Amino acid sequence: MSTLTTTPGPAAGDQPAAPAAAAANRPVDRANPTRAVLMLEDGRSFVGDAYGAIGETFGEAVFCTGMTGYQETLSDPSFHGQIVIMTAPHIGNTGVNDADYESDRIQVAGFVVRDPARRPSNWRSRGSLDDELAAAGVVGISGIDTRALTRHLRERGAMRCGISSVLADGSAADGLPATDLDAGGSAESAAGSAESAAGSAESATGSAAGADGGADGSRPDDGGERAALAALLDRVRSSPEMVGADLAPIVSTKEPYVVPAATGTAQFKVAALDLGIKRATPAAMAALGCEVHVLPARTTGEELLALEPDGVFLSNGPGDPATADYAVEALRTVLRADVPVFGICFGHQLLARALGFETYKLTYGHRGVNQPVGDVATGRIAVTSQNHGFAVSAPLTGVTDTPFGRAVASHIGLNDEVVEGLECLDVPAFSVQFHPEAAPGPHDAAHLFERFRDLMAAARQARAAVAGGES
């Protein structure tokens, strides 16, 4: 039997494996769907139908609360190495199109949905989402209780995960019943908790996912199926963790390229450090008259300054910001040169580290298009698009002295009081944890690109004034 399997997971300390290679994929037979199992590293498991490609994949299980924008989510490089669970029950309604990709490919390690739409309806659609996933070699699972899974991750935190629609010997996983397997109760599973006990309301046992099989409440026997699941759990636990993962260079451009100003003649030149940049971001700056030079993640500070940019932009990206010392050092070189800096998401975390603040991993992160953020200076509230699992450890109030002068928290997350923005008071630099370009999501924060433009204009005027005074 021809199967698809992702590249074997690297040893602990290495980087999360990329999604399976598209060349070896085998799409799901919709008339006779293959069973699949999702296994969390704490032993909780869910059984449903294979979705996308048949095979096996590993990554960090995270949930995304956006009801729309699944194509932008799938192609966001910040999701590299992660298995994304969509909390909205119906996914795939509008199919896929060429305009909504935020990078050159699907970036997620795996995809989890409750009820996939099989007949897309949209004037831009060129095909179904599940066919697109299969063509990209992305292993997924459908028909499980994503609400129960999301609540489990919310309470216990994001964790390593595996999706498999093949057993250890490479045969199809069709022998698995449509049940939540952890309720069977191995010593390694979460069956001992009230949440995952047999008969729990949150178990997939009683969900619609299990309505088409295992109706007698049967569990896998203690033989082959249990052994296969135990082996899958071992593979999940041996897969790399997100803490300590240096992923930005993996998703970054390998060669510089230029996005020309959309206004004709460029008014400003921006050097954008690509740590996992989305297409909408340079497009937003180009719309304001910026010529954007997109550069590889490991570009040095000297190389950034050699472009003589009006400003330096730090993009979003995947992985642990504590591993990106190369970008932090480049940023410090730029700050010492007094060149305006704007960072978003991962770039926000790097600015924080350049200023001397630490970063830490959130329990389950912020991922979705409905995250409320408060502007400390104005009191204005913006609903923002976010995608991050790490955050900045900095005082919420007051002024902090840093190696580059004074800094304050400019934005605060209203759900959990996470630092969502930083502003430097003595050098021209600021950052936000969210995505002002949206894609997907609301455009409440789009004005921040205008603020960056104005900061570059002010710096140019200041340089001109100094030059005039010296002449």
pTM, entire model: 0.84
Asked if residue 16 is part of any domain, the answer here is no
Q: Which of 419, 427, 356 shows the shortest CA–CA distance to 390?
A: 419
- Residues 177, 287 within the same domain: no
Q: What share of the chain is helix, strand, coil (3-state, %, to 5)?
A: 25, 30, 45
List the catalytic residue out of 41, 195, 202, 437.
437
Asked if residue 179 is part of any domain, the answer here is yes
**In angstroms, rounded to a whole number, what is the distance separating the alpha carbons of residues 283 and 76?**
15
User: Which domain CATH number covers 50?
Assistant: 3.50.30.20
Sign of CA dihedral 183, 188, 193, 195: negative
- Residues 461, 327 within the same domain: yes
- Residues 164, 52 within the same domain: yes
- Mean pLDDT within 165-176: 60
Asked if residue 13 is part of any domain, the answer here is no
Domain span holding position 297: 248-467
**In angstroms, rounded to a whole number, what is the distance separating the alpha carbons of residues 353 and 348?**
9
List the catalytic residue out of 80, 152, 411, 435.
435
Asked if residue 406 is part of any domain, the answer here is yes
Asked if residue 386 is part of any domain, the answer here is yes
Q: Give the pLDDT confidence score for residue 433 in this predicted structure.
A: 97
- Residues 192, 218 within the same domain: yes
- Residues 376, 462 within the same domain: yes
Number of domains composing the chain: 2
Tell me which of 190, 218, 238 is where a domain ends: 238
Name the more confident of 432 and 67. 432
The residue count for the chain: 471
**435 is an active site residue:** yes
- Reply yes or no on whether the pLDDT at 124 is more than 70: yes
- Residues 341, 265 within the same domain: yes
Which pair of structure tokens corresponds to residue 21? 């290679």
Q: Give the pLDDT confidence score for residue 171 in this predicted structure.
A: 54
List the catalytic residue out of 161, 290, 345, 424.
345
Which pair of structure tokens corresponds to residue 438? 């949206």
- Residues 291, 200 within the same domain: no
User: Which domain CATH number covers 460?
Assistant: 3.40.50.880
Local structure of residue 252 (DSSP, 8 states) = S
- Mean pLDDT within 186-215: 34
**pLDDT digit string, tens, across residues 281-296:** 999 999 999 999 999 9
Residues contacting 383, CB < 8 A, separation 6+: 369, 370, 371, 372, 373, 442, 444
Tell me which of 238, 269, 291 is where a domain ends: 238
Tell me which of 210, 238, 266 is where a domain ends: 238
- Residues 323, 372 within the same domain: yes
- Reply yes or no on whether the pLDDT at 16 is more than 50: no
Residue 25 banded pLDDT, cuts 50, 70, 90? low
Burial class (CB in 10 A: 0-12, 13-18, 19+), 228: buried
Question: What rounded mean pLDDT belongs to the chain?
Answer: 86
- Reply yes or no on whether the pLDDT at 177 is more than 70: no
Asked if residue 298 is part of any domain, the answer here is yes
Q: Which of 288, 320, 260, 295 shows the shortest CA–CA distance to 78?
A: 320
How many degrees, rounded to 5, is the angle at CA 399 between CA 395 and CA 403? Answer: 95
- Residues 294, 443 within the same domain: yes
**pLDDT digit string, tens, across residues 348-399:** 999 999 999 999 999 999 999 999 999 999 999 999 999 999 999 999 999 9
Contact present, 83 and 451 (Cβ < 8 Å):
no
Residues contacting 447, CB < 8 A, separation 6+: 436
**In angstroms, rounded to a whole number, what is the distance separating the alpha carbons of residues 76 and 101?**
8
**pLDDT digit string, tens, across residues 300-319:** 999 999 999 999 999 999 99
**In angstroms, rounded to a whole number, what is the distance separating the alpha carbons of residues 83 and 265?**
42
Asked if residue 17 is part of any domain, the answer here is no
Element (H, E) at 72: helix 70-74
**Distance from chain centroid for Cα 339:** 29
- Residues 192, 129 within the same domain: yes
Asked if residue 127 is part of any domain, the answer here is yes
